[in-house]
Amino acid sequence: MNPYQLSTSSQSILNTLAQAENHPLTRGLLKGVEKEGLRVTPEGSLAQTPHHKGLGSALTHPQITTDFSESLLEFITPPTHLNQHTLDDLTNLHRYSYTHLNNELVWPMSMPGKLPEDDAIPVALYGSSNRAKMKTIYREGLGLRYGRTMQTVAGLHYNFSLPRSFWAFLHQHELGAQPLETFITEKYFHLIRNFRRYYWLLIYLFGASPAVDSSFVKGRKHNLTPLSDNTLGLPFATSLRMGDLGYQSNAQSALFICYNTLDTYIKTLNKAIKSPYSDYANLETAHAKQLNTSLLQIENEFYSPIRPKRTAHSGETALTALCKRGVEYLEVRCLDLDPFEPAGISRNTLRFLDTFLMYCLFLPSPKCDKQEFTNTAQNQSSVVTHGRKPGLTLVDKQGKQRPLAQWANELLEAMQPIAQLFDKAAHQDNSYSGALNLAQTRVAQPSTVPSAQIMQHINNGLSHVEFGLQQARAHKAFFGQNPLTPSLAQRYSDIATESLQLQQNEEAEPQVPFAQYLEAYYQQYDDCTESV
């Protein structure tokens, strides 16, 4: 018997959702993507040019901005019900951007190409307003704490939410006694706990960073082995981005953030933001900037594979928004860029993510303790570095070693009712079951996962940079084959122009002293802690 099969009660709910009159409840699922991509020279080196004016203001543009570095583009798609709309939006953002990048390329991989010395990596600049200064100083602080090199790593974030009508249906079906908003927040945390238990499967299936250019680890200790010219990696690695070389931090390794309730999440994260950290206090010099000397400057510094989110008002912290109004959507953060897809993600990956997240919602989700938190981190590390190794075992919920392939197959088999629901209720085809079948093939044949396909190119003699350039040029050609229509090009141009004006307007407003602005910002964390 498969221990991960959905319960009879959950299956009953799925059967009800599959009825024709309830199809809109699952069709209303909203999704969006935030896709990062470094600007690089034709030779694959990090572009040193500023964010191009033709792309608008990185501070105020709703869809084209920057992340850590001035060179790190970020494309944001608006929420939509349809996977095709998400992919079309991503494609069009690339098309528009390429009309302003001159001879630069958008790097298609999560791990960067050729990097300069750490202090030559440009930090993102947003302008002269207090909000802009805070964004830049936060990034300067990240550079001090973890090195700017680490901040050139790119990823793809998937935003996911279910419609209020779905939650009202589930609330009624479960005879929930608490207010609907409380119920929704509790269910999102229920989903998060299961996601954290099983997201190693996403790293295995979609990890696409098994190797790095040697410049990425210059002067740092590492356990990577030479693979080809200026290329290092591990033979069975899946996603070095999600390991010690990427978003993981030694300072955060002992940090326990509790996802059992919204209150425990806020309290444990707030504590890290308010707790002084001696190593960071020692970073303060006349030329060094960071927002504070705590373990975290703000909540975004905690590198979680998934975050509960609520749209924040102007000047409001993300935690304050959550504290006041509960969870609105989830942000999945453990996805590498897919270098084989021009948009960075495929339709099948989007379909699988919906299936996986909905499965996590309907599977029982007991409260998590520190031991399970540790086991989750251990599983992540194992799959990051050795995910394709034959016979690899992980730690299950009983603390026992379980073969990855067996565990993955049990989870995928148990997801079938969810995929069938999406096939019938939302799309009237077999596309979601097809995405699930593809995942099963990738478990049975590890050579078919993206990380293995990349390694095959490297084993055939390409360096990390050569492979990345090969894909970047192919993607640029793809985007150039079907340029934007004149009306759509004009719309993107108008948005860029408007964003520049919005930045000017913000900078023209009276600004309180920055220290006073920052004090008021941090006061929200105290107010939030007192209210939970």
Rounded distance between C-alpha atoms, residue 133 and residue 38, angstroms: 22
> In 387-430, which ranges are continuous DSSP H helix?
404-414, 416-421
**First-to-final CA distance of the chain:** 42
Helix axes 130-146, 514-531, angle to 10 degrees: 80
* Diameter over CA atoms, the chain: 66
Write the Ramachandran bin of 294: left for phi over 0, alpha for psi from -120 to 50, otherwise beta: beta
pLDDT interval class at 530 (50, 70, 90): low
Write the Ramachandran bin of 344: left for phi over 0, alpha for psi from -120 to 50, otherwise beta: left
Q: What is the pLDDT of residue 288?
A: 61
Residue 286: pLDDT above 60? no
Residue 425: pLDDT above 60? yes
Find, among 453, 7, 2, 443, the residue nearest to 211 by Cα: 453
Q: What is the pLDDT of residue 280?
A: 87
Q: What is the DSSP string of 289-300?
A: --S-SBS-SSGG
Tally of CA atoms within 13 A in the half-sphere of 141 that contains its CB: 21
Q: What is the DSSP string of 425-484?
A: IIISSSHHHHHHHHHHHHHH-GGGSHHHHHHHHHHTT--HHHHHHHHHHHHHHHHHHSPP
Residue 248: pLDDT above 80? no
Helix axes 318-325, 262-274, angle to 10 degrees: 150
DSSP class of residue 422?
A: I
- The most confident of 221-230, 276-285, 289-298, 401-410, by mean pLDDT: 401-410
pTM: 0.96
pLDDT tens digits for range 363-380: 999 999 888 888 999 999
Tally of CA atoms within 13 A in the half-sphere of 340 that contains its CB: 17
pLDDT tens digits for range 173-205: 998 789 999 999 999 999 999 999 999 999 999
3-state secondary structure at position 106: strand
All structural domains of the chain with their residue ranges = 8-531
The CATH number for 8-531, chosen from 3.30.590.20, 3.30.1550.10, 1.10.600.10, 2.60.120.200, is: 3.30.590.20
